[in-house]
Structure 1
Amino acid sequence: MTPKPLQQIDLSVLDLVPVIKGNTIADSFKNTLDLANRCDELGFTRFWISEHHNMESVASSATAVLLGQVAANTSRIRVGSGGIMLPNHSPLMVAEQFGTLETLFPGRIDLGLGRAPGTDQQTAAALRRGRTETVEDFPKDIAALQKYFSAANKNAAVRAIPGEGLDIPLYLLGSSTFSAQLAAMFGLSYAFASHFAPAYLQEALQLYREKFRPSENLKKPYSIACVNVIAAETDEEAEFLASSQKLFALGIIRNQRKPMPPPVNNLSELWNKGEEAAISQMMKYSFVGSKTTIEDRLSEFIKETEVDEIMAVSHIFNHESRIRSYEILSEIKEPLKDPFFDSQPPIE
């Protein structure tokens, strides 16, 4: 397998709808819609939102509702979940919600599925109303979801309306070899969460490719790596902006998930050596720097992993700086070609 050059790799966006210190949740929603609109203009392939609960730092709990707003405020970019934490929901309800989205915005909706709770155990128990998940439940729920989307389910006693018969691509998300093997077994595209859990990336990708079984909708493996990208005009500016991301991660380690803090010049005063090492490991696949630095490091990453797509998440305090980071990332890609203008004769 020969990896594509970076310029030909699809670039996408993962947004956690972060809450910024000093701002409101309404501000977070406004920023997400603005970012999605700009990423649509810049030519990114997809814009995903992840499901999280009971966190002051993240406002993406009603994921499907937000996705509807993003899709309504964009025109081309694919919109999806990165992901819906399936054990928190009934497969029927997920099929109905995403069937509604696909009906409203045909050909633009993705459904990424995860197994983690997206929150703490107590909140997970409240979401699931005491239901305890087993290892067998997640594969069964995926199969049930596929059944509800199938046109063959039209004579069943329980049907997903809307949802039935719609072509909504499923993506399996994960950070372990279990998720990789499950994606391979179902013949689904696979997205690895290397932006916060890098340890098993290479092993998971290898297992996914080796064990992949072609399915009706996917004939060969398709892998996405989610990574952290913070781009700026200079390496020094990018490193400064990245301190907010590191403080955000520090809050996770300390179980203090507060709104994202502003960047700082000296992190050594705010963490100890053990915390610094833990965050360095967690943020292993972080690409921070100028356009040239990002391009060089991402090219090496693609050579090493042979992934089909890069999905970037950018924890940046200032909204304008976050927009600029995605603009710089988009500049790495070859310009999008317009089939209309490409087919027209030159003006004499």
Structure 2
Amino acid sequence: MRGRAWPWFVYNHLTRGFMTYKVVTLLHNALAFPRLRPAVTPPGARVSLLVPARDEAHNLARTLPGLLAQGAEVIVLDDHSSDDTAAVAARLGARVLRGAPLPPGWTGKAWACQQLAGAATGELLVFTDADVFWHPGALGGLLREQAASGADLLSVWPRQDNRTLGERLITPLVEVTLLVGLPFAFLRLPSPRAGAANGQVMAFRRAPYEALGGHAAVRGELLEDVQFAYRLRAAGGRQSLALGQRCVGVRMYRSYPASVRGLGKSLLAVHGGHRARLPLTLGLQFALYTLPWLLRVPGWRWLRLASVLERPLVNLISGRRRGADLAEGLLGPLMPLLMLPAYVRALRRRAVWKGRAYRQ
């Protein structure tokens, strides 16, 4: 083989191998991934729905009524908000806690969740973000799935409600990463690292949660959800995932800049804290999604097809079936370029979130 042909030979085989893995994973998850279905909450269920909230008055006004309608204990912790978070939550009928000062070495969310757990009375502790919508029957569906899986930690991926073009550019990649990158069967492996979680909805059985020390186990982690899953599995706990579907939804960000800030704060942690991995990942994405549209590289036709079909297929599996959801596939070739600002933010030594700065 001529020397000039070697780079394209390697490129062809790497891209084919990686795309084959993603296709197989997507098909497996389409069949195996649990979906929540609305159900009646069993009588006598002792559940606490716990909401850490910092400057979330605008979200709570829309989401808290649905949470309160689940028929369980609802506690909102006001984490030193500069808006009317506490007043809105109290007016709607939730129990409101005033957050204590943030101790050194803690992230704001972990400290808020630790305080919420201390105030909760339920045997099942469900931590849920202020921007998450709980629809009728959602808690019953969650309890049924938790019982079926036997999980000490059940984490739910809410169905995204992206409405504007800015929201659609990169926010849906949260679901793409899950459904084409993580085979559900991976959770059955014995390794503690064979786990995943989503901090938007995390339902813990109280005893395993307290045995780990609660959120103190992940007090300084920006990606506390995944780290919690690792620690729980290492301690012998059982962990599972589910898609929110018609039960649980979320509108994460309202614009492209907000998406960049939100995803940028987590990217380094997703890469294990290794900055050198960031350009490698971005380069691989460019080779898979963008380069085939710029050059006639080996396999360019099927790579082009895969780049525009990936998002629509993921959206169908996650329950997003509107025309605009399916049209997101046209953004596939632009994905590495759209993610570039988030990767740049992830290279910084400090991450800023909710008005607080953290070293990373």
**Same fold, judged at TM 0.5 (above):** no
Which TM-score applies when normalising by structure 2? 0.24
Per the normalisation by structure 1, the TM-score is 0.25
